[in-house]
Copies of this chain bind each other. A is one copy, B any other.
């Protein structure tokens, strides 16, 4: 497991996602302040892929430099404001989700075993055949 490479890839994905969130934020602002520009920018962002945030900004810089500069300011602000909370949020989130998955799986196994016992070790396909 190449942890260094995974960390690098994850940071890139995160940067592109924050660029996407910056675009959403600026779109919401334009919708309320400058409708023609909102339509232009919405159209541009539907056409140009946001999968790679840097390539997207490169093209936006050529088309509308001031919008590109605005997106860059907003994404930097987002990075400064929210990334510090992510490690704790993600670790706790994954821990809780894992516990939930394990719990549900245990319940299912236990339920199946008792059903199998009542049915004389007869195989059942559905989760709750009594409801059918």
Contact = CB atoms under 8 A, between A and B. Distances in A.
Given A54-B97, A69-B102, A98-B76, A10 B17 contact: yes
Contacts of A119: none
12 contacts: A11-B86, A12-B93, A15-B90, A15-B93, A18-B94, A53-B97, A58-B101, A61-B105, A65-B105, A72-B102, A83-B90, A86-B87
A18 B14 contact: no
A17 to B, nearest CB: 5
A22 to B, nearest CB: 9
Interface residues of A, number: 50
A55 to B, nearest CB: 11
Nearest to A8: B89
Contacts of A7: 82, 85-86, 89
A80 interface: yes
A53 B126 CA distance: 24
B9 A61 contact: no
A104 interface: yes
Contacts of A84: 87
Interface in A46-91: 53-54, 57-58, 61, 65, 68-69, 72, 74-76, 78-87, 89-91
